[in-house]
Every structure is written in C-alpha cells, then in structure tokens.
Structure 1
C-alpha cells in the first residue's frame, strides 16, 4: 500500500488504486496525510476543504467522507499495513507508517543525498527522490488555505532538489546534463532567479556561452516587464562571471578583464 501526494492524491494497493471519488474526499485525505499520525481538528479540515465560506452542513459532509474513506481502507485490508483512520473527540487521525508516504520517502532520500561524499551517489539519490513526483503536488484536490500552502511548500522543495541535482552533475563535470535538468524548470518558472542563474552557469560551463547570455537577457527583460525589478545578485554574479571569462572546464580564463571591470560591465545590461 502506498499513499501519494506528489502528484494526484491517490492510494495504491496490490489490486490497483482505491476509487477515492470526488475532489473533496481527496482533499480530506490529503489534509489527514499531511498531518499523518497527528489529530487534525474538524475546524482545520473544514478550512482545508472550503476556505472561509464552508457550507452549513460542513461537519456532516466531512463525517460522510471519513466514513467512506474508512470503508475503502478496510476493503483494502489497510490494517495489515498498520493504517487506521481514527476519531479522537473533535478530530480525526490517520495512523500510517511513514514508509508508506511518498513525500516522507522524498524527504528521506534528500537527507541521504546530502550525506553522500560521492557526487555520483548524490545524483543517484536525488534522481530517485525526483522520480517519486508524478505531477504537481496534491493534484485532484481543492487547494484552499492549508492545502494551498502545503502544495506550494512541496513544490519549492522539488525545485530546490532540481537545483541540487544540477550542482551534483556540475561536480561530475557533466554540465550539459546539468543544463538539461534545469532548462525545463526554468521555462516553467521563468521568474525564479536561482533556476535561471544555475542554467546560465551550466550553459556557460558546457561551452554554450551565447545561449547563456541570451538566457540572461531574456530573464532580465522578463523581470523588468513583469515585476519592474533588476536581476538579483545570483543572476548578476552569473553574468559577471561570463563577462570576465570566469572558470570554465576546458577553457583558459580570458585575459585583460579584472573583477572590478566585470562589475562595471555588469551594469551595461540595464542600458
């Protein structure tokens, strides 16, 4: 049995996924799984399912969904896996081993990856962590209030992991692979400066300087047009590194441009 939040909220069993039904029921399950083994008050569940405008019969609707979830779990012999949906006063708790939760395994793999001394082992574990994602977190739910915040936090963790994977590829000297990992995310999140900066450096170190510069100027224009801001220090530093012919595997540093000159040149992108 496996509970998935890193994609469409689902429960996989030996005989296939459980028929969870409507989005409200998936939302309820997601709220319980995000606080697995901890009582979740009905008030917080109500906030997760309806936000600030719950219907008059919200409590009864929640009770109905809990009853249906219990029946589904019982039919899937969930107790054999140590899974149980329990009522505790004015709260519900879903007791479930952490090994059955995909987001917990994701976090465990991240922790293990950060403990590795070998970049190759780090790459392998980060790849395994990212392979757990099947789409945007908490898919198929109504992301109101707490669920919206949780989905955002999970997505931020995924993006940070992509950046870590690119750094690990860079440590192996595989800059083309680092650029490949980063490009799709930079396209999907064009104003995330850390992604753009990492992609620019990966392209440059892969010997694709013109692409790196094009990506910088594209991002600079987007930030100016959409947010009315200049690039932050990560983007500016990446640009300055290219201008001064900074460290790049297989290429000698360009002469005649010191760090101060690069900093002055960096100002030219605003003109």
Structure 2
C-alpha cells in the first residue's frame, strides 16, 4: 500500500488504486496525510475543503467522507500495513507509517543526499527522490487555502531538489546534463531568477556561452514586462561571470574527477519564485 501526494492524490494497492471518488474526499485524505499521525481538527478540515464560506452542513459532509474513506481503507486491509483512520472527539487522525507516504520518502531521500560526501551518490539519491513525483502535488484534490500552501511548499522542495541535482551534475562535470535538467524547469518557471541563473551558468560551463547570454536577455525582458523590475543580484552575477569569460569554477577541482567526487554538495536554499 502506498499513499501519494506528489502528483494525483491516491492510494495504491496490489489490486490497483482505491476509488477515492470526488475531489473533496481526496482533499480530506490529503489534509490527513499532510498531518499524518497527528490529529486534524474539524475546523482545519473545513478550511481545506472549502475556500469560501462553508455550507451549514459542512460537518456532515466531512463525516460522510471520513466514513467512506475509512470503509475503503478497511476493505483494502489497511490495518495490516499499520494504517488506521480514527476519530478523536472533534478531530480525525490517520495513522500511517512514513515509509508508505511518498512525500515523506522524498524528504528522507533529500536529507540522505545532503549527507553524502560523494556527488555521485548524492546524484543517485536525488534522482530517486525526484522520480517519486508524478505531476504537480495534490492533483485531483479541491485545494482550499491550507492545501494550496502545502502544495506550494512541496513544489518549492521539488525545485530545490532539482537545483541540487544540477549542482551534483556540475561537480561531476556533466554540464550539458545539468543544463537540460534546468531548462525544463526554467521554461515552466520563467520568472524564477535562481533557475535562470543556474541554467545560464550550466550553459556557460558546457561551452554554450551564446545560449547562456540569450537566456539572460530573455529573462530580463520578462522581468521588465511582467514585474517592471531589473534582474536581481544572482542573475546579474551570473551574467557578469559570463561576460568576463571567467574560467568555470569547480569544472576541474584539485585532484581532477576524484577531487570533484569528494567535494560536498551545498545545501538547498529557498529560491525566489
């Protein structure tokens, strides 16, 4: 049994996905999974299922979805996996081992990757972590404000993992691979300066200076047209490095490839969206 938040909200079993039904039931499941093994109040669930004034019968709607979800879990022998949906007064609690939840495994793999001294090992773990994503987080759920915030936070973690993976490729001298990875995300997030700067640097390190400069001018125009601002320091610094034609850092560390393999990967930081 596996619970998925990194893509369509779902519960996979050996006989196939559980028929969760309407979006609000998926929202209920998502809210419970995001606080797995912690009671979630009726008030919190109400905020998650409605982004406007809830109906007078909201409590009954939630109770109905809880009953149906509990029946689905019981029918799938969830208890044998240590999974149980219980009522605790004015709250509900979904007991589920963290190993059955894709978002928890994703975060665990990120932590393990950051502990590796060998970039090659970190790259393997980051690729495994990102393979857990099957689409935008919480797809198929009706996302009230709490779930919208949770989906945004999960997406920020995914983008941080992508940027870390690109840095890992760079440490291994695989700059074209880093550029291909970053280009996909930079196209999807054209206003995210950190991605644009990382892509420019990867292209430059791969010997594709004209493409790197083109990406800077493209991003600069978007920032001016959409936000009325100039490029921030990170983007400007990447542009200046390319114009100076500085030797790409970390391309050939002391000790050659072995030196690169022993260089620790930097920690993820929040990127401006």
TM-score > 0.5 by shorter chain: yes
Task: Quote the Cα distance in structure 1 between the aligned partners of 2:34 and 2:51.
Answer: 17
In structure 1, C-alpha distance between the alignment counterparts of 2:243 and 2:185, rounded to whole Å: 25
Provide the residue aligned with 2:39 in structure 1.
39
Counterpart CA distance in 1 for 2:127 and 2:135 is 15
1: CA distance between counterparts of 2:52 and 2:20?
25
The total of aligned residue pairs comes to: 250
Where 2:87 maps in the other structure, the secondary structure is strand
Partner of 1:135: 135
Structure-1 residue corresponding to 2:214: 214
Shift of residue 143 of structure 1? 1.3
Residue 235 of structure 1 and its aligned partner are, at CA, apart by: 0.4
2:56 is the alignment partner of 1:51: no
Bigger RCO of structures 1 and 2 (CA < 8 A, at least 6 apart): 2
- Contiguous gaps of at least 5 residues in structure 1: 251-271
What's 2:270 paired with?
none
The list of structure 1 runs, each at least 4 consecutive aligned residues, that deviate by more than 3 angstroms after superposition, is none
Report Cα offsets for 1:126-183 as digits up to 9, x if no partner.
Answer: 0000000000000001111100000000001101110000000000010000001100
What CA distance in whole angstroms lies between the structure 2 residues aligned with 1:160 and 1:99? 22
- Equivalents in 2 of 1:172, 1:69: separation in Å? 47
Q: Provide the rounded CA distance (Å) in 1 between the counterparts of 2:36 and 2:74.
A: 18
RMSD value over aligned CA atoms?
A: 0.8
Aligned to 1:122, what secondary structure does the other structure show? Answer: helix
Aligned mates of 2:190, 2:123 — CA distance in 1: 24
Alignment of 1:196 with 2:205, yes or no, is: no
| TM-fit CA distance, 1:52 | 3.2
Separation (CA, whole Å) in 1 of partners of 2:14 and 2:33: 20
Structure 2: tracts of 5 or more residues without a match = 253-273
Offset at residue 51 of structure 1 (A): 2.3
Give the 3-state SS of the residue equivalent to 1:37 in structure 2: coil
In the alignment, what sits opposite 1:260? none
How far apart, in 2, do the equivalents of 1:223 and 1:246 lie? 26
Quote the residue 1:159 is aligned against.
Answer: 159
Q: Which position in structure 2 is the counterpart of 1:262?
A: none
Computing the radius of gyration over CA atoms, which structure comes out larger, 1 or 2?
A: 1
Q: Whole-Å Cα distance in 1 between the matches of residues 184 and 144 of structure 2?
A: 27
SS of aligned partner of 2:86: strand
